Structure 1
Amino acid sequence: MELEQMSLPVNNKLLSAYWSGSEKLHTFFEYKLHDTAFHKRAQYLKNMHYNTNELSNIIRSFMEPFGLSPKVNEHLSHLADGAKVIVGGQQAGILTGPLYSIHKAITVILLAKEQSEKLGEKILPLFWIAGEDHDLEEINHTYTIVAGEPKKRAYSERTVRKTMASTTDLNKAEMKKTINKIFKDFGETKYSNELYQFVVNEMDKSATFTDFFARLMNAFFKDEGLLMIDAAFIPFRKYESTFFKNIIEHNEKIAEVVVAKEQLLNDSGYGTPIEANVNNANLFYVRDGERFLLERRNNHFVNDQANVKFTKEELLNIAEQTPENLSNNVVTRPLMQEMTLPVLAFVGGPGELAYWATLKDAFSVLNLQMPIIVPRLNLTIVTRQVEQILAEKQLSVLDVITGKSDHLKRQFIESIQDEEAKKKIDKLYKIIDAQYEDLERHLIEQQIDLKQIVDKNKNYHLQQFDYLKSKIEQQVLLKHDNIIRQFNIIATEIFPNNNYQERVYNPYQYINVYGPTFVEDLLKLPFAITNNHYIVRL
């Protein structure tokens, strides 16, 4: 593997301003991203109390079914002794979901190592699995490459209920069909069979989306000691009981300050990432694994769809007795994270940065402090096949992402068109049109009213000319299919559907080509936390 950095135009205004250390953003974040911030935050955490011994036991019980490596055991011991954590998280996608799930975990691990050295104390990597999320349509698919184009491959099982990823049973027969399609699309390499068997075996051991995700992530990162916790893990939910009560007690004020902060963010030109509402309780009620968003109405917490209505006291009792029946949303999840974990820094993507920007005052309501926010690494993987095409075309990855290669493809297609054939067809078009006009004049003179039939007949012939023209164009393109396919390959691999590769494909597409040490070798590269985009050449 070879590593290269490139500077990309940043389309996300908030991310660009955050990297620049803009004073304008000071009101939205507690810290600027700087070494001194980590020292300051570490000192702050020394004055906070966390039951890290219990937390370590909970994480151990969650991870034990997936296998505890020596490094994970070591990190659990450090956590029990009060070590701080770097946290990042993601939904439980199929085959770990898009590549950026892996990129987040890598960022978390590298940042934990870096800060351990700089602070002279053990800092641990922790991955927060958003297993409580219920939008399964976001996680039930991945993309492969078929005939040079991105192809969506989705798990076909559907449910009308808003069940959480952690409570939705896998239909293993249907999931295996999906995995079979995905691996067929990957194509056969010397790694394929072993890789396929591993994935299917891990799926067979899994009961839910979250189980499957956690098993695959643990396989990638167990030797790095990456700790994992599922937000919907019942022992963790019970651990959160007191913290849910804190959120309920301050519920109205949290909603109020978030709405005000988001309005300020919008006034500053950064939009409304969560579209907060003062009546939103920012909590879900969970019944039979299904989530229902609560809102405050007439001094009650209600959801009409679920036909539930709680007084504040009743909701506090739920938090006390059965906290597994509560779940956080985009506002309260960061608050819960701060109350449960000694978070030195949170690693997130551009979308997460935007909604965290609305939450600083919500942290203050609970007498908490927003942690340092660190944008995740951004990577594009370049296979040898793509590398060869880029070299042949004298193009760079940047050229593909910024549209230069697409422009060259269009220019090439225009240059190979048979203009003479088009002119001859256009000439025939004019001749036929003129002959039909002559026929219409004759029929009118003879007082024969067949205009509709004549027009229909004429249109039929003209359509045949268009058809002939399109078939000529197809044959011309077929003659140059190899060159056009090369342009399509680099666009599909590097910037599929006009989107970054890391948001579309899963890591197994590249493991199938590179081999089982793909993630291990990525971790050996000399990454730094930077606003540049990394190119990894396989």
Structure 2
Amino acid sequence: MMFSIPYSQTGYFSKLMIDYLNQDARLSPLYNRFPTLENFKLQIQEKQQAFPLHHRKVLVQQLSKQYANSETSSATLQHIQQLGNTNTFTVVTGHQLNLFTGPLYFLYKIISTINLCKELKKTYPEYDFVPVYWMATEDHDFDEINYFNFNRKKCQWNKEVSGPVGRLNTDGLQAVFDEFKKHLPLGNNANELTLLFENAYLKHDNLADATRYLANELFKNQGLVIVDGDDTELKQLFIPSMKEELQNQSSFKEVEKSYDILKDYIIQVNPREINLFFIEHGLRERIVFEEDTFKVLNTDLQFTKDELLHLVDTNPEKFSPNVILRPLYQEVILPNLCYIGGGGELAYWLELKEVFTLHNTPFPMLLLRNSVLLATEKQNQKREKLNLSWEELFLKTDDFIQKKTKDFAQHVFDFEQQKQFLKDQFTALKEVTLQTNKSFIGAVNAQETKQIKGLENLEKRYFKAERLKNKEQLDRMLDLKIALFPNNSLQERIGNFSTLYVDYGQKMIDTLLENLHPLDQNYSIITL
């Protein structure tokens, strides 16, 4: 069973994302084409003309190497080989190397990507479309990825680390596995999860290989191709862009051009003067230009301009793009049409179009990933029994309690009407006061504040009494809301897929693949 509500009615999406989805004309200079099936034809033509055949050859060669030690499905192998053809294009999503996939929306990103490729193939059968998961192997924020939540229990990998996370060895994950296994119930689905975790993390030496195995096992039948950008040959294709950044520090100026349009929104990321890191094993630090010298922060490393540019030519793997340049790197090495991400990701992509223009690289379409609330049949039956709508459950907790309390109240007193009546009376009194004796205006204002405050206190006491009278029913409603919206947040941002996989197994993923439509601008509620 499936239900949906517009993103704008959920209360969980930013004004920027809602305006983007509504194709607000003010934002149009910040993107290339809005993602509709019709617009993909033009995007295909643009990318086809701009993407060199040499880049395809290097891409296929390096992907074959990255998959050399993996048990790869025939669908994925076919997709890798197809990437060498000029009529093949990608749809990409990216994500950090979160332990055991991290939040549920990891699945939604990839499924959105897979399903869009299927829709494009139906619409444009003369082309082939490959779903790609870009692993953020060069990120270095370990605290964001070192845990997952299973049934509200935090399974955490405690380890002292530094440098790009993809290169981290998997030492210490046996303890996480043992703790996770203790909480799993008996059953075939639990056994599958146990084997999946064990094979991914205890039989691979680094986090990149472990994550590739995990994502491949979950989606190999869909032909998902997983890319690791921490690759010397792939970075050779990016050398001109890295040199441009080091010599002219141009990204900073290009990103700033978006600020005039984005001034009424939250700026998602701010560029550095140099948007590259220096990386080696155990090290990923910013490159800065100080006193006519390029320096690597928190190290003794420093270079002249000529020395650093020579190092880019000879060892491009020592340079890592940050959040500003990573999207450009991705689009330089992939024949990509569309990037699929969450609201925060698309917000920073909308700052980058001029960077792509500077580097003569087509700007991809930007698509908001599918968002999903997964409910069990038992939870849905409880919702119906409690006479709750899905729209009500999306309300923030305080608003939810207030609304349901009002719904229960048999004798509703309209406090808002009374407050407005009081304000109108004092407005009239202040007009009289100003015409007679202005010295009393302070006393009138104080009395207005006092009476409004008194009415608000009465309102609180009234609703407290109503809540107590209907406590049992409200508690049942709150229990359901908390189960579906843990920590007063979206389920997809908190829970891990394993919590539901224990009960539903592969059916859970199959249901998502069957029901999610990536170009649909609605929040999906699916009953398993």
User: Paired residues, what number?
Assistant: 462
Quote the sequence identity (%). Answer: 25
Contact 2:279 2:319 in 1 (8 A): yes
How does 1:166-315 map onto structure 2 within 5 Å? 166-180=167-181, 183-184=183-184, 187-189=185-187, 191-232=189-230, 236-251=231-246, 252-267=248-263, 269-277=264-272, 279=273, 281-315=274-308
- 2:161 and 2:61 map into 1 onto residues whose CA distance is 35
Q: Deviations over 1:220-259 (max 9, x none)?
A: 1101101011222xxx332212413422224434333344
- 2:373 and 2:281 map into 1 onto residues whose CA distance is 41
Instruction: Tell me the TM-score normalised to structure 2 length.
Output: 0.81
Contact 1:128 1:231 in 2 (8 A): yes
**Residue equivalent to 1:60:** 64
How does 1:132-531 map onto structure 2 within 5 Å? 132-145=138-151, 150-155=152-157, 157-159=158-160, 161-180=162-181, 183-184=183-184, 187-189=185-187, 191-232=189-230, 236-251=231-246, 252-267=248-263, 269-277=264-272, 279=273, 281-403=274-396, 406-407=400-401, 411=405, 486-525=476-515, 527-531=517-521
Closer/same/farther in 2, CA of residues 309 and 165 from structure 1, 3 Å limit: same
**Residue equivalent to 1:465:** none
| Amino acid paired to 1:229 | V
- 1:348 and 1:502 map into 2 onto residues whose CA distance is 14
Contact 2:58 2:233 in 1 (8 A): no
Contact 1:285 1:325 in 2 (8 A): yes
**Residue equivalent to 1:446:** none
Alpha-carbon distance, 1:284 to partner: 0.7
- 1:282 and 1:528 map into 2 onto residues whose CA distance is 32
| Amino acid paired to 2:271 | A
**Residue equivalent to 1:27:** 29
Alpha-carbon distance, 1:276 to partner: 2.2
- 1:190 and 1:406 map into 2 onto residues whose CA distance is 38
Alpha-carbon distance, 1:189 to partner: 5.0
Alpha-carbon distance, 1:151 to partner: 3.9
Closer/same/farther in 2, CA of residues 290 and 175 from structure 1, 3 Å limit: farther
Closer/same/farther in 2, CA of residues 371 and 526 from structure 1, 3 Å limit: closer
For structure 1, which segment, 21-30 or 523-532, has the greater mean C-alpha deviation from structure 2 after superposition?
523-532
Corresponding position: 1:105 with 2:105? no
**Residue equivalent to 2:18:** 16
Alpha-carbon distance, 1:190 to partner: 5.2
Contact 1:56 1:80 in 2 (8 A): yes
Structure showing greater Rg:
1
Closer/same/farther in 2, CA of residues 127 and 308 from structure 1, 3 Å limit: same
| Amino acid paired to 1:335 | L
Instruction: Tell me the TM-score normalised to structure 1 length.
Output: 0.79
Contact 2:162 2:282 in 1 (8 A): no
- 1:190 and 1:485 map into 2 onto residues whose CA distance is 34
- 2:307 and 2:196 map into 1 onto residues whose CA distance is 47
* SS at structure 2 position matched to 1:399: helix
Alpha-carbon distance, 1:482 to partner: 8.4
Alpha-carbon distance, 1:38 to partner: 1.0
Corresponding position: 1:536 with 2:526? yes
Closer/same/farther in 2, CA of residues 531 and 166 from structure 1, 3 Å limit: farther
* SS at structure 2 position matched to 1:284: strand
Corresponding position: 1:117 with 2:122? yes
Alpha-carbon distance, 1:70 to partner: 1.0
| Amino acid paired to 1:57 | Q
Contact 2:35 2:519 in 1 (8 A): no
- 1:361 and 1:91 map into 2 onto residues whose CA distance is 25
Closer/same/farther in 2, CA of residues 311 and 208 from structure 1, 3 Å limit: same
Contact 1:4 1:535 in 2 (8 A): yes
**Residue equivalent to 1:6:** 5
For structure 1, which segment, 362-371 or 160-169, has the greater mean C-alpha deviation from structure 2 after superposition?
160-169
Alpha-carbon distance, 1:411 to partner: 5.0
Contact 1:170 1:209 in 2 (8 A): no
Contact 2:163 2:279 in 1 (8 A): no
- 2:43 and 2:192 map into 1 onto residues whose CA distance is 45
Alpha-carbon distance, 1:23 to partner: 1.3
- 2:104 and 2:513 map into 1 onto residues whose CA distance is 14
Alpha-carbon distance, 1:339 to partner: 0.9
Structure 2 alignment gaps of length 5 or more: 410-467
- 1:410 and 1:300 map into 2 onto residues whose CA distance is 64
Alpha-carbon distance, 1:410 to partner: 8.8
Closer/same/farther in 2, CA of residues 485 and 222 from structure 1, 3 Å limit: farther
**Residue equivalent to 1:436:** none
* SS at structure 2 position matched to 1:264: helix
Structure 1 alignment gaps of length 5 or more: 416-476
Alpha-carbon distance, 1:42 to partner: 0.7
**Residue equivalent to 1:450:** none
Contact 1:345 1:372 in 2 (8 A): yes
Contact 1:127 1:226 in 2 (8 A): yes
Contact 1:8 1:398 in 2 (8 A): no
Closer/same/farther in 2, CA of residues 254 and 168 from structure 1, 3 Å limit: farther
| Amino acid paired to 1:215 | Y
**Residue equivalent to 1:425:** none
Alpha-carbon distance, 1:5 to partner: 1.6
1:73 to 61, 77, 91: 77
- 1:219 and 1:481 map into 2 onto residues whose CA distance is 47
Alpha-carbon distance, 1:188 to partner: 4.5
- 1:523 and 1:213 map into 2 onto residues whose CA distance is 21
- 1:341 and 1:264 map into 2 onto residues whose CA distance is 30
* SS at structure 2 position matched to 1:240: helix
